[in-house]
Structure 1
């Protein structure tokens, strides 16, 4: 499992695709219109964000990458605003302005954190404009470590095959967020990232995961892809790599608030992770983690390094065996966050015998996790760490050290042998005296 984030500081990624301006009108609703059975929204805020390939680039920049975006806009105010928003968030822009075609704009009306309606203002860009995109992308490609193609079927990527070929010739990984049913146009890409509906529109409905894996493997072979990453909503993601078994990862979202732009985040994090040197599995795990964060936000949004690092820490497995006090504090806190009670059992366990084992099993029955603190008992440490009932062992020198450990880790229960005299424990720590143990004295 991925345990730490790679460094994104010097990573350079190029995003090419359909850029758009996402506009949000926020307001309260208190009545129904007398003209039609619809709510009346009193608009009080107008918010502008970059969407589509622009949102992909912003997600890359939020990780600390050096992100450049290439796309088509209209010769209008929306195109100018979109460029301003991108540059303000650290994205270098190569936006080619086209006369007579509006910048793609999506207006969402939001009330009480709920989207009431979306209005789209757009026209598909003609294929004759695609060479301008290709020229700008090929000019920006040297020195890049990943190419992310964000296809919303608006005409920007009419020459996508040329972009894939140019990147692969330079050994630059290519991540494609696809659209439509003609996946042959993405032949030779490193990873194509459809959602389940998009995938099944190409290969047909899959009855189960085995059929999904088989058809995905066939598509990888036919299109010379290194991998397919299929996003499956609440069922997580499936990575299908040529020559390897399918890998299924569960969804990581705690609460789904808004799925807008989640695909952009997955494409961005996947591409940036590959550019930073991660393998496909680790890059997929990181992208899946990012998706779980971003769906908890309203509208098109980015995921920060701090959020990813915190989520990685929360998902990391608890330590095992012999640990120190600092690790014990973290382990007990994680166990508590998972709804588990921790018992700190302190005692002398040399010689280790049936009496010692029975006493530890009695202590373990008081909670879900057992932290054992042998006092001045170095001989017993290895034995204790090997016991199935014991989660962690923190060797201590005396009862004063036990008091310090209990105050720092704040276990739910402190189990000690009968007759042990201890100073008052911190609030919330219940002290239980168990018979048959060797007194700490």
Structure 2
């Protein structure tokens, strides 16, 4: 997919949903309280950050898009802080301030980058409180292209159908970040963005990619929804659209610092990109990149347009074409990605190994392997398999970290983990065009050579860089 940076400054998005203030107390912990077996935190800093639907609005503003926000608050200090923070980044606030309810506050105590305690201050809204927002709807929806409904089940979206119908009358696209086990209340929405747990709460347990797609399509038909974007943590995202082939995006492998607000970033980026004229698949691809950025940050965070474009460019090389993004994948996702690549006429190269401590020899070898075709699959041994091959104390790096390092290399398209001692079952499943192995032996010494040549594939042996060995590196470290 050729990437053209969206002009977010032309995008106009409306957010309606549950507003809250995320309040963080930061400090050091040096002793245990004499009153109870709990740590004493000497608070050094207080930080207030808009949360819930307000965090969606902050993310939209951070990208440079125009955002109008509405929800229910109290008539209190927290509402004033929330509005001030939002106005400071250009969010247009049309709040319904109720004298009968306090603004929702979620307070967290943080020490040494660790959350020690969370305190929630909230009173559930009565079912009819949201009706006070109806008088705002005309000015709220004027001149916008996309409406986001950010539902945290606090009561602001007690009647989402009102907003869906109002928006469609204005010709707007409606996106919903849902809550609860009844998606019928979002009937007619254009895109719903549940995470995997929320999706399974509605459709039941999902055991395979095929079952996920089947149940998603049933949901689309039942509730007249145009598309579902299911966010799947380390398994990436899957977009199921009415009348279109499923679109899978593997997660972009990164160290995760905090997943707080990742769903808000996804729907904010999706909405902003759609409002800026991007297609749904282009917008989802950008949302996937944005999610990878925000989970690497601590706390409720946002993503800027320069960050998004820079990260997209880093992961999107000329060899990455339209339906498969580089990254760590499950075996099922790999099968789908390889099938799509072959349909586009791309030659798929496969190699495998432990790749415990990545060194110059590995990098050179993978570059050689990548040159044998259009796509490179790297399959790594499980931790148990590495221990069996290399002995106690190995691997140094567990599988998830090995995948992160490999996925960061420009020459690698997909990284997966294979079960068992050899990748023979995986070779039978994905049938790569070329099997590559590094070493000084004949190709018949390559595990799986007969499988690959049996269906007409090639087997190639690449040279290795002299004096490069993970075992030698480990031994040298142990000598010091």
Distance 1:105 1:42 in 2: 21
Deviation at 1:90, TM superposition (A): 1.0
- Indicate how the Cα distance of structure 1 residues 119 and 312 shifts in structure 2: closer, same or farther if over 3 A, else same: same
Q: Report the CA distance shift for 1:390/1:171 in structure 2 as closer, same or farther (over 3 A).
A: closer
Question: For 1:366 and 1:303, how far apart are their aligned partners in 2?
Answer: 35
| Contact 1:25 1:43 survives alignment (8 Å) | yes
Question: Whose Rg is larger?
Answer: 1
CA shift for structure 1 position 245: 2.8
Contact 1:13 1:67 in 2 (8 A): yes
Matches within 5 A, 1:128-207: 128-207=128-207
Counterpart in the other structure of 1:265: 265
Aligned counterparts of 1:226 and 1:15: Cα–Cα separation in 2: 19
Are 1:183 and 1:202, in contact at CA under 8 Å, matched by a contact in 2? yes
- Could you give the per-residue CA deviations for residues 343-372 of structure 1, whole angstroms, max 9, x where no partner exists? xxxxxxxxxxxxxxxxxxxxxx898369xx
CA contact (8 A) 1:70 1:94 kept: yes
**How far apart are residue 43 of structure 1 and its match?**
0.7
Query: 1:277 maps to what in 2?
Result: 277
Could you tell me how far 1:35 is from its partner in structure 2?
2.4
1:169 deviation in Å? Answer: 2.2
Which whole-Å deviations, capped at 9, do the CAs of 1:27-83 have from their partners, x for residues lacking one? 011122222222211110000010011110111011111101001100111111111
TM-score normalized by the length of structure 2:
0.67
Following the alignment from structure 1 to structure 2, what is the Cα–Cα distance between the partners of residues 366 and 202? 46
Instruction: Say if 1:267 and 1:287, in contact at 8 Å, map to a contact too.
Output: yes
Give the conservation status (yes or no) of the 8 Å contact 1:134–1:163: no
- 1:300 and 2:300 correspond: yes
In structure 2, relative to structure 1, the CA distance for the partners of 1:389 and 1:120 (3 Å cut) is closer
Work out whether residues 340 and 367 of structure 1, in 8 Å CA contact, stay in contact via their aligned partners in 2: no
Distance in 2 (alpha carbons) for counterparts of 1:39 and 1:63: 39
Secondary structure of 2:258's counterpart equals coil
Q: Distance in 2 between matches of 1:366 and 1:185?
A: 54
Alpha-carbon distance change, 271 to 29 in structure 1, aligned in 2, over 3 angstroms: same
Alignment of 1:339-354 (within 5 A): none
Distance 2:37 2:202 in 1: 39
Cα displacement string for residues 122-159 of structure 1 (whole angstroms, at most 9, x for unaligned residues): 01112222122233133221210100010000000122
Structure 2: where are the runs of 5+ without partners? 321-357, 376-480
> For the residues of structure 2 that align with 1:16 and 1:85, how far apart are their CA atoms?
17
2:73 matched to 1:73?
yes
Q: Is it true that 1:123 corresponds to 2:123 in the alignment? A: yes
Partner of 2:238: 238
Equivalent pair of 2:19/2:73 in contact (CA under 8 Å)? yes
Aligned residues: 338
**What secondary structure, in the 3-state scheme, does the structure 1 residue paired with 2:293 have?**
helix
> C-alpha deviations, 1:194-252, integer Å up to 9, x for none?
11111111111111111111001100111111100111111111111112232221112
Gaps of 5+ in 1: 321-338, 343-364, 371-386, 392-441
Preserved CA contact (<8 Å) 2:187 2:225? yes
3-state DSSP class of the match of 1:156? coil
Q: Distance in 1 between matches of 2:65 and 2:111?
A: 34
Q: Is the 8 A contact 1:369 1:390 kept in 2?
A: no
**Partner residue in 2 for 1:331:** none
Give yes or no for the alignment of 1:55 onto 2:79: no
* Alignment partners' CA distance in 2, 1:3 and 1:67: 24
Distance 1:55 1:93 in 2: 13
Contact 2:161 2:186 (8 Å CA) reproduced: yes
Runs of 4+ in 1 over 6 A off after TM superposition: 339-342
SS in 1 for 2:213: helix
Q: Call closer, same or farther: CA 1:2–1:367 in 2, change over 3 Å.
A: closer
Equivalent-residue separation in structure 2 for 1:143 and 1:341 (angstroms): 55
